[in-house]
Structure 1
């Protein structure tokens, strides 16, 4: 028996075995992200990572252990990104393998650097190792949200999408704080099961884990217990229009009019009897919300299409405003803007926001002088807007507009000194098909709603569209790849 244990210990202690175990731990951890939301897989995976990097004989061994963990974690949880290259008519299908593996390869270096310095700066003291692992890995996750324009997708704090009680801690800290807590719980689990650690230290680690987990759960449950339901504003109806236009058809010239007529038909007020019932009541206001780039400068600039829009808006007896994503062309330099505009009943633009956080390789090519490629969206020359902005509706309500993945960045979604009543996030996730991508993107909106204690109105071309209250609860929600109209009134 001792011989078998010796051989097993020798096998596990080899560099290659540790790399394999690290990769498996990373792959397991990926199932904590949406749509799985199996948080315990991440706690297990981080615990294994803590043990493996701590037992590494040299710091550079710990570096590659961290890289193997990170690569498999991001490979599994972000593999949907390559789906954008599989859309009919896209010329970059040849780069599918590079897109699926290239980004995880780069992101894995954040985990690798944390593990390298955690091993290098600490001795065999388990408390020192615990603190350095938590601080370094947490710091690298924060840096991931800022370096090279930032990509804080699937931070470890996003493991709690299925635990709305735990999510309530976001009301006092953002997802970066929850990421530090999550790493702490994983490291404590690692200490609890680490070989060579005293029974006393294992018990203390387990008790700290259970006590803090229980405290957060109790706090969240109490906050939700006292949370009032989200009620509609007086005399305000919010209509979410999910047209479900396939990405392959979205920009085809021969489909443009058909797509536009489809949007108008979904948005028109066909309830004449309801209008008659409201004649003696106070005037109603309707917000119609369309998804990202639902229309373009062609629709606004073409007289016939402009008239079609005005006729649709005039089917409403009282006040009506269209909040829509739009592709605009800037005449002064022929650049494009991915924008949100507010359009009044006369089909005139009365307010505008330009997307400020552009998507690398989607809306611009970084270092284009050395990378002479066209963007995945096949539009080039996008111009970034000026940053966060609050738009005031004619009915004095304030909205914080965000286009697509701008909802991804915690602490960067609203004007702090001019906070909106609603965050409006328009997007188009049709690129990614039936995959984890739309689920994960929706989860980011849910986190921002709790962090800002502000309802999020999210409208996506093919779903998911939703209204999420300041506690992260879905007030209305559509399914993926369905044509739908949701009203909140």
Structure 2
């Protein structure tokens, strides 16, 4: 193994470096967007854990996760404390428990990496990016999933952006993590005076980075020649009055007033639960909207839905989005629910313990799979409500049947934090992966139009009551990632894990 100075350092030094390396990954994402820190962070992690014995690797991975989530999801504290009616000490404890819990995934991944790689530097270096991506994938579905802070998301503005419609966000993460391993490999090989091998590693790594800009010039989907006119309304309704019946009329007046000059737009977008009553009570307002819309115009809005569920054999609530208009059709019920925000795990035990477990509208049920897109005239809109836009394969699969993506959210839960900026960046990555325009409507920001390359063309600043207008284009055709999802990347990860072992790569 290379002469690694950390091999003789106290373990607390390694722990501190891993906390810093994990936290630095938050800086690669919005609002900082220092994507170049990604491979540096990965190289620092590899440099730190390479000399560690397997028995120390669980703690090493857990500390890396604590650094990442402790810095990257601070917005959760705002949801718990300010909007969850929870005291500061309890909010801090719940936040700490969440960070510590999610970080366990990285702890197990690092321990697994040590068991597989044993004491072979080559095996460890090759396996590291594979195990990192495997951990990302696991936390994307485990216990409903937490697909947040994927390192590849930073490259919506980075040189690897061109890989997104080919391999998705996990593919980009694999390249970034592999680059971290490659940097350590170069250090190791130069110390061993194996310059030819070092040259091969450098060339392969550089080729992947140079391919990104080339791939980004490819137009994977075909955009319509004629644009559609679009307007989105950002009401900036305070979260404290969102579900207060005394302010129901005021909220509807706000959105009707904002839409006054735009009823003839092809597509009009109101945010998540802009109509804060269920559809069975909202008949008059829905009829009023339909009567105001111009010929061929469609208004898409968030609205709670109360209906009978065949699956549950009972009446249930859904967080939904519907299309209103003469040529409009469709209702979509959210499938990826936010734990504690939209449903309460172990509800019979937790309800009533503290205010956070009794948030308004936290009894939603999951919508059925394989729902049809919304229809706005000839345009099919693939919907994603709030948290759903964080799931790359979920959005890519749904987008196969649509010409345009639409997402609505209420990021008022996160206040003036980094959460809404991260959320917007993930929406941009989904547009880039699918080669489709993304129409994003939020209560208090960031409302935006995102083009098929993941670039924001129009936006409304946060915490402003305003209207955004612009032109959008429907798209046809599928990107490679829409055809395959993350399975090629996961297959490569599995191949590396299965075949990079003692009998394939000897110790030296």
TM above 0.5, one fold?
yes
Structure 1 window deviating more from structure 2 (176-185 vs 367-376): it is 367-376
> Aligned pair 1:358/2:353, yes or no?
no
Q: 1:363 to 1:298 in 2, by over 3 A?
A: closer
> Aligned pair 1:209/2:205, yes or no?
yes
The answer to whether the 8 A contact 1:32-1:41 is kept is: yes
Query: Aligned partners of 1:397 and 1:9: how far apart in 2?
Result: 60
Q: Shift of the alpha carbon at 1:229?
A: 8.1
Decide which of 142, 164, 171 is 2:165's aligned counterpart.
171
Report what 2:186 is aligned to. 192
> Aligned pair 1:125/2:117, yes or no?
no
Show the 5 A alignment for 1:115-264.
115-163=110-158, 165-194=159-188, 197-199=191-193, 200=195, 201-220=197-216, 222-223=217-218, 232-233=226-227, 236-264=228-256
Query: Aligned partners of 1:228 and 1:351: how far apart in 2?
Result: 25
Report what 2:488 is aligned to. none
Gaps of 5+ in 2: 472-508
Decide which of 357, 361, 365 is 1:383's aligned counterpart.
365
Show the 5 A alignment for 1:266-415.
266-269=258-261, 286-297=266-277, 301=281, 306=284, 310-311=287-288, 313-330=290-307, 333-344=314-325, 350-373=329-352, 375=357, 377-393=359-375, 395-413=377-395, 415=397
Report what 2:421 is aligned to. 439
SS at match of 1:402: strand
Q: Shift of the alpha carbon at 1:429?
A: 0.4
Decide which of 76, 91, 109 is 1:114's aligned counterpart.
109
Q: 1:109 to 1:169 in 2, by over 3 A?
A: same
Q: Shift of the alpha carbon at 1:425?
A: 0.6
The answer to whether the 8 A contact 2:248-2:276 is kept is: no
Q: 1:133 to 1:251 in 2, by over 3 A?
A: same
Report what 2:408 is aligned to. 426
Report what 2:506 is aligned to. none
Query: Aligned partners of 1:407 and 1:310: how far apart in 2?
Result: 30
SS at match of 1:482: coil
SS at match of 1:400: strand
Q: 1:152 to 1:116 in 2, by over 3 A?
A: same
Report what 2:484 is aligned to. none
Q: Shift of the alpha carbon at 1:192?
A: 2.9
The answer to whether the 8 A contact 2:335-2:367 is kept is: yes
Q: Shift of the alpha carbon at 1:12?
A: 5.4
Q: 1:257 to 1:439 in 2, by over 3 A?
A: same
Report what 1:277 is aligned to. none
Q: Shift of the alpha carbon at 1:389?
A: 2.3
> Aligned pair 1:81/2:76, yes or no?
yes
Q: Deviations over 1:11-51 (max 9, x none)?
A: 95222221122112212222112111112222112111112
The answer to whether the 8 A contact 1:459-1:466 is kept is: yes
Structure showing greater Rg: 1
The answer to whether the 8 A contact 1:51-1:191 is kept is: no
- Normalising by structure 2, what TM-score? 0.82
Q: Shift of the alpha carbon at 1:217?
A: 2.9
Q: Deviations over 1:186-237 (max 9, x none)?
A: 11123234599424255544443333212223332x337x99988653xx42
Q: 1:389 to 1:197 in 2, by over 3 A?
A: farther
Q: 1:311 to 1:115 in 2, by over 3 A?
A: closer
Q: 1:153 to 1:101 in 2, by over 3 A?
A: same
Structure 1 window deviating more from structure 2 (142-151 vs 380-389): it is 380-389
Q: 1:208 to 1:317 in 2, by over 3 A?
A: closer
The answer to whether the 8 A contact 1:37-1:159 is kept is: yes
Q: Shift of the alpha carbon at 1:311?
A: 4.4
Q: Shift of the alpha carbon at 1:131?
A: 1.1
Query: Aligned partners of 1:195 and 1:62: how far apart in 2?
Result: 24
Report what 1:44 is aligned to. 40
SS at match of 1:471: coil
> Aligned pair 1:68/2:45, yes or no?
no
Query: Aligned partners of 1:354 and 1:92: how far apart in 2?
Result: 33
Query: Aligned partners of 1:238 and 1:230: how far apart in 2?
Result: 15
Q: Shift of the alpha carbon at 1:327?
A: 1.4
Q: Deviations over 1:422-466 (max 9, x none)?
A: 111110101111211111111111111121222111101111111
Report what 2:96 is aligned to. 101
Query: Aligned partners of 1:458 and 1:106: how far apart in 2?
Result: 31
**Aligned-pair Cα RMSD in Å:** 3.0
Report what 1:274 is aligned to. none
Gaps of 5+ in 1: 1-5, 272-283
The answer to whether the 8 A contact 1:34-1:443 is kept is: yes
Report what 1:480 is aligned to. 462
Q: Shift of the alpha carbon at 1:354?
A: 0.8
Q: Shift of the alpha carbon at 1:257?
A: 1.3
